[in-house]
Amino acid sequence: MKFRFCGRSGVQMPVVSLGLWHNFGDVDDFKVATDIVVSAFDQGICHFDLANNYGPAPGSAETNFGRILRNELASHRDEMLITSKAGHEMWQGVYGDGSSRKNLMASINQSLKRTGLEYFDIFYSHRYDGVTPVEETMQALIDIVRQGKALYVGISKYPLDLQQRCYDILREAKVPCLVSQYRYSMYDRKVEGGALKCAADNGSGVVAFSPLAQGLLTDRYLNGIPEHSRAARETGFLQKGQVSEERVAASIKLNEIAKKRGQSLAQMALAWILKDERMTSVIIGASSVEQLNNNIKCIDNLDFSAEELSQIEDILKDPVLSF
Ligand SMILES: NC(=O)c1ccc[n+]([C@@H]2O[C@H](COP(=O)([O-])OP(=O)(O)OC[C@H]3O[C@@H](n4cnc5c(N)ncnc54)[C@H](OP(=O)(O)O)[C@@H]3O)[C@@H](O)[C@H]2O)c1
């Protein structure tokens, strides 16, 4: 594994991290979930990304991860960076959703209980909810650190016009924002419009979620929508309509470039993000150990020639590809 420092901090992250949004809920196979986590850890993926609502059922990914930790990796806690988040709908009633202090404080207690952890390494505000003043949300994050429930804090998907204010509040409280999490892939490049620069200027690390566009930037959909794939599953967030003809055609062309580089499409898509040193890590999802093993190998070639980059840009220039 390769590691990068997370922004201007002393903590390093593996350039490939594992996310538990899909494939680790109660609807999934616990043995496969265990094998993926253990295999990831054995290969240096020591950063695991959770959120209160991951499942389904919501909360079950945290519960299952806690079981895996206790069963398989109990003595390795200090070798891991474990994160969780709060901010999306989680329980009934007005306090079970959003970015209020009430939600964040209740949520971290629930997440600690579900995972059986004493603390999270990083706790995120999962989103700006459009209403709660960022002062309230950031103060809750600061207090979570002061209470010893998390070591560091992060923000996820914050709009550009609020991002700087978050960094300022956290910095003034001497709880700097360790990491900012944004969706970033060849098919979603909005972060290049300012968020990445703002994070880097403020010393925050940046991690990319859904770097494979939920599977579209792999060979998964090159010949239709396979049974059991995320787009085929009722509980999957990738809609069948998002597997559009244009995206599949573009992925086929990108796959040709990947082959010439001696990489799978997934490996090239991850390397393409990591070529930018401001990116700390890509948070991948995987439904099998095979996928995980394939993706990890992206680290063998993170460099692109000018010609490869220009061929890729040429394919990506069609706006219908963007989410
Ligand atoms: N902050 C936020 O709001 C937010 C939002 C979303 C996600 N996240 C984080 O980001 C993590 C990753 O998101 P994601 O799961 O959407 O990431 P992703 O890496 O873009 O997609 C993962 C999916 O792609 C397919 N795949 C992966 N590797 C493959 C390979 N080598 N060959 C073929 N197919 C492959 C699998 O789908 P199949 O199931 O079809 O096999 C897998 O479940 C989440 O788990 C979560 O931790 C955060």
Q: Strands 177-183 and 150-156, how do they pair?
A: parallel
> Cα of 20 to ligand 1 centre, how many Å?
8
Environment class of residue 136 by beta-carbon count within 10 Å: exposed (0-12), middle (13-18) or buried (19+)? middle
Nearest in space to 108 (alpha carbons), one of 135, 72, 55, 146? 146
The pLDDT, as a whole number, for residue 50 is 98
Q: What is the mean pLDDT of the chain?
A: 97
Sequence length of the chain is: 323
Over residues 52-64, the mean pLDDT reads 98
Average pLDDT over residues 220-233: 96
55 lines ligand 1 (CB under 6 A): no
What gap in Å lies between CA 287 and CA 220, rounded to an integer? 12
Which residue, 148, 156, 167, is CA-closest to 52? Answer: 156
Alpha-helical segments (H) within the chain? 30-42, 60-72, 101-115, 134-146, 160-172, 195-201, 245-260, 265-274, 289-296, 306-316
The radius of gyration of the chain's CA atoms, rounded to the nearest angstrom, is 19
75: how many CB neighbours lie within 10 A of its CB? 7
> Which structure tokens are listed for 30?
């616990």
pLDDT tens digits, residue range 182-203?
A: 999 999 999 999 999 999 999 9
Q: How far is the CA of 211 from the centre of ligand 1 (A)?
A: 7
Query: Is ligand 1 within 6 A of the CB of residue 20?
Result: yes
pLDDT band at 211 (very low <50, low <70, confident <90, very high): very high
- The pLDDT tens digits of the residues spanning 268-286 come to 999 999 999 999 999 999 9
Q: Which atom of ligand 1 is nearest to the CA of 228?
A: 40
Mean pLDDT for the stretch of residues 212-217: 98
Ligand 1 pocket check for 19: Cβ under 6 Å: yes
- Separation of CA 215 and ligand 1 centre (Å): 7
Which residue puts its alpha carbon closest to atom 39 of ligand 1? 230
Looking up tokens 């909810």 gives 129
CA–CA gap between residue 215 and residue 230 (Å, rounded): 8
Distance of CA 111 from the midpoint of ligand 1 (Å) = 21
How much distance in Å is there from the Cα of 123 to the middle of ligand 1?
20
The answer, yes or no, to whether any atom of ligand 1 lies below 6 A from the CB of 181, is yes
CATH for 3-213+273-287, options being 3.40.50.720, 3.20.20.100, 3.40.220.10, 3.40.50.2300: 3.20.20.100
Query: How many degrees, rounded to 5, is the angle at CA 312 between CA 291 and CA 302?
Result: 55
Q: What is the pLDDT of residues 87-101, one digit of tens each?
A: 999 999 999 999 999
Q: 214 CA distance to ligand 1 centroid (A)?
A: 5
Nearest-CA residue for atom 30 of ligand 1: 291
Q: Give residue 124's pLDDT band: very low, low, confident or very high (50, 70, 90).
A: very high
**Cβ neighbour number for residue 95 with a 10 Å cutoff:** 14
Token digits of residue 17? 């991290």
Structure tokens at 196: 């990445």
User: What's the Cα-to-Cα distance from 19 to each of 78, 101, 103, 180, 247, rounded to whole Å?
Assistant: 19, 25, 22, 15, 24
Q: Which two tokens stand for residue 153?
A: 């804090």
Q: Are 36 and 23 in contact (CB under 8 A)?
A: yes
Ligand 1 atom having least distance to the Cα of 216: 24
pTM: 0.98
Measure 146 CA to ligand 1 centroid, in angstroms: 32
295 CB near ligand 1 (under 6 Å): yes
d(CA 80, CA 197): 28
